[in-house]
Structure 1
Amino acid sequence: MNEHRYRTELGAVLQKLPGVLAKSTNYAHATQSPDAWTRVADVYSVVYWVAARFRWMHLAELAVMKQQLASERAHPIAATVAARDEAGAFLNSGDFAGGLAIVDRAVVEAESTLEGRDRAYGLGILHLRGLTLAGRIKDKRTAQQHIDAAWRVADKFPEDIEDHGIHFGPENTAVHVISTTSDMEDHRGALNTADDLIRSGLTLPATRVGPLHMNVGRSRLALGDRDGALEALEEAWNIAPEMARIHPTSQELMRVLTSLHRRSNPRLTRLAKRAGVPF
């Protein structure tokens, strides 16, 4: 199921989720092992992820609650992932300060309960969530604190890893920094970081690379480069079409590009048709 998620195959994830959730829950009740309950928590993390993509916010919040309950019987890292997703639910609903408070509490808990690789990974994904939340309210000081902390943790990983359905490492840290830099309207800085990242070669899956190109398009458009923004949006659609269709950044880019355009452009027309946007 996570492989479908990484390829942003949302339809396949939705199709498989009910069966995977039922089987993993039944197995956890039968065995009562921390491994099994960690798996249940991970499945609810996927429920949260797909619900957040479609803006099904009541389902996202319910998924996080069930994830937290499962994490109480799971390995300690499951509680950290659950806190990261709970902060994500606050992010999706626009309560950025509330999400930051959850991240702060979770960082303190992770520092005292996790060890080794789990500790580094858990702190890393929390700081990525923290910098995103801080960027949305343009709190540059807090955002920079989380950025610096995320980079320090990322230095412990020679390359990005995937645990519990979430990637962390130097590349995903850069992807998050690019998005937050754009949120804080340093569009030239975002593009410079993106150029360095893309030039060095990406190993991340579509679920991370698609949004990267959306944010590149957002910064290019803010700097007046409409052709560059269209090129980035096309790349996002080529890499992650199911995500690009519903992602707010992709939708906003399409809306602005079509509203600004005043002459025939076959590329934009084709993309608008794929997105179902009248043009």
Structure 2
Amino acid sequence: MSATQVPGPGANVSVRRKQLGLSQVALARRAGVSVSLLSKIEVGDRALTQGVGAALAHAMKITLDELLGSAPEQNLRDLDWAIRRFNIPGEPPVHPELLQQEVDELNQLRWNTELSKIILRLPSLLNRVTSHAHLTGEPKAWTLVADVYGVVYWLAARHRWMHLAELATTKQRLAAERADPVAAMVAARDEAGTFLNSGDFAGGLTIIDRSIVQAESTLAGRDRAYALGILHLRGLTLAGRLKDRQLTNRHINAAQQAAEEFPEDIAEHGLHFGPENTATHVIATASDMDEHRRALNTADDLISGGMTLPATRVGPLYMNVARSHLALGDQDGTLECLEKAWDVAPEMAAVHPTSLELTRVLVSKHKRSNNRLTRLARRAGLAI
């Protein structure tokens, strides 16, 4: 799974196209995009979105993560070992009563986007919660296993280690079958995420639709609202990438309705849901669908109201606001939002394709010396 990071995913389009011996005209025709757009993406005048990226990847018969470029992998040997031994329990943990606290601490690192600390803690904790679940067989213990695999998926998705992400969601689903009912909905949401990150948006929607039916028929009360909420958030993202306006609005309305059950955002199973996180998803999807004024207006309302969300949500929020600023020709606004994303979530910004791509385009467009942009480009690993 080893790969080399490509700062600014759009820079990789030209490399891949030329490796396949395709002209811009031929690739544009295959992908269903204009030659002008493809040319601008390659030279850095336009940012590569994941929707267009998925079309280009499909046309070149490669995966979306291959096109975007993966972050370099750290030493994953210990984590691979722990995942492989899912069905082979080890020694019982010395202090099983502390496992929930450790999982909570792991999720706090996730919300703070401290990726390097997470990868150090995951192998040991994953091994111990799995052994404990085999020993007790209790749904509560298997819920911890499913929750830790949710963190494995999140880490892998951030680095675009897609084979690891898919393996993690497989194990997460198996653990969720023995856990509390909401854990199964979280696992389905993450499984749909592997389709999202691979560019198979329609496939991800199939997973979401099936899970929504299950949640509606099996859950009640607060659990039902939470499960439906996180599923509809994933659904609106997938529908937005397909630019299906009607389906997107259906998921938005359903997510907002579920969020009415929560006056403030809550965190369960490592995921936040409520009015604020729903708004961040609406902003991202508005950007995906080129509704940039809507994205900026929604962001203004959210930010001015005072956010309580953690860095794992605020960092991507500023990246998506930056996307809309750039699409509207506001390079200063783009730079300011990217700086905020780096300030809030530096480890995430260092590997996130949106921050890398937007920085690449800013560098390409900016013709005058700019110390702030120079610092940002250096942090992103771009020559300027």
**SS of match in other structure, 2:263:** coil
Alignment TM-score, normalising by the size of structure 2: 0.72
Give the unaligned 5+ runs of structure 2: 1-105
What amino acid sits opposite 2:273 in the alignment?
Answer: F
**Among candidates 93, 102, 109, match of residue 207 of structure 2:** 102
The equivalent residue for 2:365 is 260
**Among candidates 106, 117, 125, match of residue 20 of structure 1:** 125
Deviation of 1:112 after TM superposition, in Å, equals 1.1
**Among candidates 269, 275, 289, match of residue 164 of structure 1:** 269
The equivalent residue for 2:244 is 139
Deviation of 1:48 after TM superposition, in Å, equals 0.5
**SS of match in other structure, 1:263:** coil
**More relative contact order, 1 or 2 (CA 8 Å, 6+ apart):** 2
Deviation of 1:116 after TM superposition, in Å, equals 1.7
Given the alignment of the two structures, is residue 71 of structure 1 paired with residue 186 of structure 2, yes or no? Answer: no
What amino acid sits opposite 1:233 in the alignment?
Answer: L
Deviation of 1:110 after TM superposition, in Å, equals 0.6
The equivalent residue for 2:320 is 215
User: 5 Å matches for 1:30-49?
Assistant: 30-49=135-154
The equivalent residue for 1:231 is 336
**SS of match in other structure, 1:167:** strand
The equivalent residue for 1:271 is 376
2-side partners of 1:111 and 1:207: how far apart? 28
1-side partners of 2:202 and 2:138: how far apart? 36
- Superposition RMSD in Å: 0.5
Which structure is higher in helix share?
A: 1
Deviation of 1:115 after TM superposition, in Å, equals 1.8
Deviation of 1:22 after TM superposition, in Å, equals 0.4
1-side partners of 2:218 and 2:353: how far apart? 36
**Among candidates 294, 302, 306, match of residue 189 of structure 1:** 294
What amino acid sits opposite 1:101 in the alignment?
Answer: T
Deviation of 1:259 after TM superposition, in Å, equals 0.6
1-side partners of 2:232 and 2:179: how far apart? 22
The equivalent residue for 1:86 is 191
Deviation of 1:187 after TM superposition, in Å, equals 0.2
Higher mean C-alpha deviation, range 209-218 or range 109-118: 109-118
Q: Deviations over 1:17-39 (max 9, x none)?
A: 00110010000011100000011
2-side partners of 1:98 and 1:273: how far apart? 37
Deviation of 1:224 after TM superposition, in Å, equals 0.4
Deviation of 1:114 after TM superposition, in Å, equals 1.3
The equivalent residue for 1:240 is 345
The equivalent residue for 1:8 is 113
Q: Deviations over 1:159-190 (max 9, x none)?
A: 00000000000000000000000000000010
What amino acid sits opposite 1:87 in the alignment?
Answer: A
**Among candidates 218, 229, 239, match of residue 113 of structure 1:** 218
Deviation of 1:273 after TM superposition, in Å, equals 1.1
1-side partners of 2:162 and 2:316: how far apart? 20
The equivalent residue for 1:205 is 310
Alignment TM-score, normalising by the size of structure 1: 0.99
> Share of identical aligned residues, percent?
69
1-side partners of 2:177 and 2:325: how far apart? 45
**SS of match in other structure, 2:261:** coil
Q: Deviations over 1:115-153 (max 9, x none)?
A: 221111000000000000000010101000000000001
2-side partners of 1:152 and 1:72: how far apart? 28
Q: Deviations over 1:218-253 (max 9, x none)?
A: 000100000000000000000000000111110111
1-side partners of 2:297 and 2:288: how far apart? 15
2-side partners of 1:27 and 1:113: how far apart? 27
What amino acid sits opposite 1:94 in the alignment?
Answer: G
The equivalent residue for 1:173 is 278
| Structure 1 moving runs of 4+ over 3 Å | none
What amino acid sits opposite 1:98 in the alignment?
Answer: G
**SS of match in other structure, 1:64:** helix
**SS of match in other structure, 2:267:** strand
Name the count of aligned residue pairs.
Answer: 279
2-side partners of 1:264 and 1:177: how far apart? 35
Deviation of 1:6 after TM superposition, in Å, equals 0.4
2-side partners of 1:215 and 1:224: how far apart? 14
2-side partners of 1:169 and 1:80: how far apart? 16
2-side partners of 1:217 and 1:79: how far apart? 34
Deviation of 1:113 after TM superposition, in Å, equals 1.3
1-side partners of 2:353 and 2:376: how far apart? 16
**SS of match in other structure, 1:204:** coil
